[in-house]
Amino acid sequence: MPRVFLGLGSNLGERKNELDFAVCRLRQHPGIELIQVAPYLETDPVGYLEQGKFINTVVEIRTILDPYTLLWVLQTIEEEAGRIRTIRWGPRTLDIDILLYDDWVMDEPNLTIPHPRMKEREFVLLPLTEIGPDVPVPPDNLTIRELLNNYRQSR
């Protein structure tokens, strides 16, 4: 089964409970095997700054679902958590992004893998380093640890 990493974030409501809800729903899905969950991390917003702090984490799963079916499952979990899409990068009860799907590289209108901004986001790279520091990220196959070091050197 493909090895997949998902980014989870929340900055509305009971933020930790929202992430716990998502982890529980992932664990319950028959097509998903939850492997590990990184420690939760409180972070400042990125992009749209007029909002509260986020709690973020990354989870590793194995799945029999193709990327589009997985995306549909993730969006359903977001909706169950009360997610309403209004402002890009704005406040949200729950956000779940596909960061990596094995060594796939795809750039489609509704889905880009690897996630196009993950290399620019410490709130993704830090928890990813906790659970998969040596995972290569296509297409250049730098490891998560190398990407985090590059990010820090560029700041």
The CATH code of the domain that includes 92 is 3.30.70.560
> Active-site residue among 15, 25, 95, 121?
95
- pTM score, two decimals? 0.94
* Tally of structural domains, the chain: 1
The whole-number pLDDT of residue 123 equals 92
The whole-number pLDDT of residue 141 equals 96
Residue 62 bears catalytic tag? no
- Is residue 32's pLDDT more than 80? yes
Q: Name the residue range of residue 53's domain.
A: 3-154
Residue 95 bears catalytic tag? yes
The whole-number pLDDT of residue 88 equals 61
- Is residue 92's pLDDT more than 90? no
Residue 20 bears catalytic tag? no
> Active-site residue among 15, 25, 92, 121?
92
Contacts 24+ apart (CB under 8 A), 24-30: 25/77, 25/80, 26/59, 26/61, 26/77, 29/73
Q: From the CA atom positions of the chain, what is the Rg in Å?
A: 15
**Of the candidate ranges 24-28, 46-50, 69-73, 104-108, the one whose mean pLDDT is the lowest:** 46-50
Whole-angstrom distance, CA of residue 89 vs CA of residue 95: 10
- Is residue 5's pLDDT more than 70? yes
The whole-number pLDDT of residue 6 equals 98
> Active-site residue among 3, 20, 62, 83?
83
Residue 92 bears catalytic tag? yes
pLDDT-derived band at 38 (thresholds 50, 70, 90) equals very high
